[in-house]
Structure 1
Amino acid sequence: MNFHVPTKPWSILYRTYRETIPEVHQQLESWKRLADEIPEQELRNQAVWTIDDKDFHCEGGSVLALLAGGNKEAFIRFLCAYQTICDYLDTLCDKNDSQDPDDFRALHDALLDALTPGEPTKDYYRVRGGHDDGGYLHELVKECQQTLKTFPGYPAMKSAMKELAQYYVDFQVYKHVPEDEREGYSLPSMKNMPRSIRSCVGMSSHVAPLRRSLFIVWLPMQLQSRAPSKKQRN
C-alpha cells in the first residue's frame, strides 16, 4: 500500500491535527467511559483524572502514526492504551503513601504483559491488596496485546521493546521510593543499560522521554515492508 510521509513542518502539523489527534480523542473517550465504570471511587477518580490531565502525551505521540501507513489506526489504538497504562500507573504510584517498591513493580507488570500477546493478565494490585478496578487495567493490557498481534514485524522487535519497558519499570520504582533510599539503589537492568539511558537515573524529568522512546523503537513494526519512494512523499 502506498502512503505519503509528510516532510515539512506545516504538513506534519496539519495532518496530525486533522488525521491523528481526532482518533486519539476517540480512543481516550472510550477509555474514559470505561474508567467511569470503575467501582472503587479512589481508582475511578485517579483513572479519569489521568486521562483528562495527560491526554497530550497521546496527542504528541500520535504524530508517529503518520509513518505507519495502513497500520495507522492500530498504531493509535496501541499508543493510547499503552500510554494510558503508563500514566495511570504513574498516578497510582504518585498518590500512594506506602512507597513500597514491591507494590510499584507489581503494578508495572502490566506494562510487560501488555507487550506479550497471550500472556495472562495478573492481579496488578496484589501487593497493596483489596482494590477493584472492574477490569479496567486488564482491558488496557489486552488491547495492547491484541493490536501487537496485527503487526508482522512484532516478533523481530519484541525483545527490544521489552528491554526498554523493563528500563522504564525500573526507573518508575526508583523514582517513587523515598528519596533517602535512592542512593545506592540497584536497578536490576542497570548492568546492561545503554549509557545514554543510564545517565537519566535520578532525573525523574527524563522518565517521560524514556517512556516515549518505547514508541520510537516500536515504530518500525508499523512501517510497510517497503519504504515510500520520493515520489510518494510530500
Structure 2
Amino acid sequence: MDALARRTLNVRARSAKWWLNEHYGQDWTPLPEFNVDNPRDEFHPYGMTIGHLFEWSRLLLELESTFEQPPLRLREAASGLYETAVKYGWAIDGADGFLYTVAWDGRPVIRDRPHWVTAEAISAAATWANLTGEARYANQLQSWTTYAQSHFVDKEHGSWHHLLDHDNRPSYTMWSGKPDIYHALQAVLLPDLPIAESTVRAVINLQTERNESR
C-alpha cells in the first residue's frame, strides 16, 4: 500500500493540488476525461469522486500508524485530500450533503448524495479527530453524523438509504434496495476506535486494552 500511496497520491495527487484522478490507462497515464459523455456510468463516473478523497485520507492515516517514524508525506497527503474533499464536496450546490462527483473546475457533475460518501467523510473526520484532538474535526464529525442520522438512516425500515437526490430525498436512480453495510458500519465504529492499520485491527486492539485494564 505504501508503494501505491507514493505513486498515486504523493506524486500525482500532490502535483494536481490534491485532485485525484479516478481513471488511468494501462501505463498509469491519467484519463481525466474518461466517460465525459457518460458521466453517470454506474461504476466509472466522470470527474473527481469526493468519497474517495475522504477514504484515501483515512487510509493514509491508518498506514501512518504502522510506522515507528512515519514519513511526513503521509500526513501531508492525508490532509490535502481531506481538505479538498471538504471544500469541493460539502454543500457546494446550496444544500447540505456531499456530492458524488465534481468536474475538474469544481463544478458539480452528479449532485446525488450516495450514502457511502457521507460514511467515508464521517470515518475520515473521526480518524482525524482521534489522532489530533482538534475541535474542528470533532465539529465536522458531529455535523456530518447528525446529517446522516437525519437523512440517510431509515428509521422505518432500518439500515441506511443508499442514495439521496440533491434535495436530500431518497432516490433510486443509481441502485435499488438497501446498500452494503461496510461503509455505514465503519462510520459507526471508527469514532470510538483507536487508530490502527485496519478497522478489524482497531477493534482487536480496543478489546485487548479493555481486557488488560480489568
Q: Normalising to structure 1: TM-score of the pair?
A: 0.28
Query: TM-score if structure 2 supplies the norm length?
Result: 0.30
Of structures 1 and 2, the one scoring higher in RCO (CA 8 A, sep 6+) is: 1
Question: Where is the helix percentage greater, Structure 1 or Structure 2?
Answer: 1
